[in-house]
Structure 1
């Protein structure tokens, strides 16, 4: 049984990822900024017969909260096998990056980028005690520079320009960290769930949460230790 921590797991794709991974026999910690929301999410899974879950409070934008979550995990487990940096916000729309206020831009980066970075840094000692540790950053195809430059890209992507920039930064973090940790047997990859119907997009996405969680779960369950520093979606690898 592997031990998994998922940030932002009390709802949406994070919750569904937790459900699928727990059903596959992993023990999953559902990270939530609000502990009550996390406990309610864990209780829903337990009511469905999935007992190998627990809630943990973690606000990825608050370093003290991240450190407290790590201390709590230290008291309960010997190592962490998989960290899934899923917590994220989409921000207000339309968010043309040429017009967005700096406060709005900073707010998006604080959660989507800096939150993932500091959570990873704090959790690294626990991950290093695993025999096969993995870090998975939940990104978006909107953060792919190659796909942004493609002639056939969706014009609606401009509504998420600032959000997309945070995911481009997150992808850069994935590559840099993968290179730094390659010799330590820690895999680091990005994955996009695709346009999934969640409150992140006012439930406008065309994919179900079950479909959106699928590539994240597949990456978390992957046993090939040579796969690192790459970007995936449902169906295979995509360009940076």
Structure 2
């Protein structure tokens, strides 16, 4: 009888200890969640929040980390205030993928007036005088130029999507000042391994830019608003998610 009583007391003690451990773990877990929540709120305007860093370590592969480190290097080496100004002129229009509207047009289905007007303007453009650029940035140089221009806005975007910039067909563009050495216009797109072509993901990243080299820095490419009309790059954008 005494042995049964002792066993009962031991079991009760064990259960009590387990409950205490579970309670302690629960409290610690709540403190952790609360701490992460507070840290996320405090660093909400920063590029790398605690939760973002956790997501990186859980999902990044070797190539993603290499791209991330390159983006950090470009940000660290870029000036705080860029002296590059966007070109102010009669605005050219962004290239249009008319193929996505072909069946709609053939079937005489409804197309919004503004879209139809944009398509007609695009078809009326004269691309015959465009010259393919021989001196142009590589995809890596284009990405570096874009990150230097936008800094954390685009760097964070590329890191979040584990994406890199790919350069399309480039065309010679008229120089905008005596300081310029080379200016080309090209479409760009963001790519990652999981989804392929992501397009521009979201603003401020665009799908078309001018890339400029200056006489003072002939080995560095800078990005600017595109200054001329070019055809839609179907080779670059042959596969869209």
On whether the aligned pair clears a TM of 0.5, the verdict is no
TM-score (norm 1): 0.22
Q: Which has the larger radius of gyration?
A: 2
TM-score (norm 2): 0.22
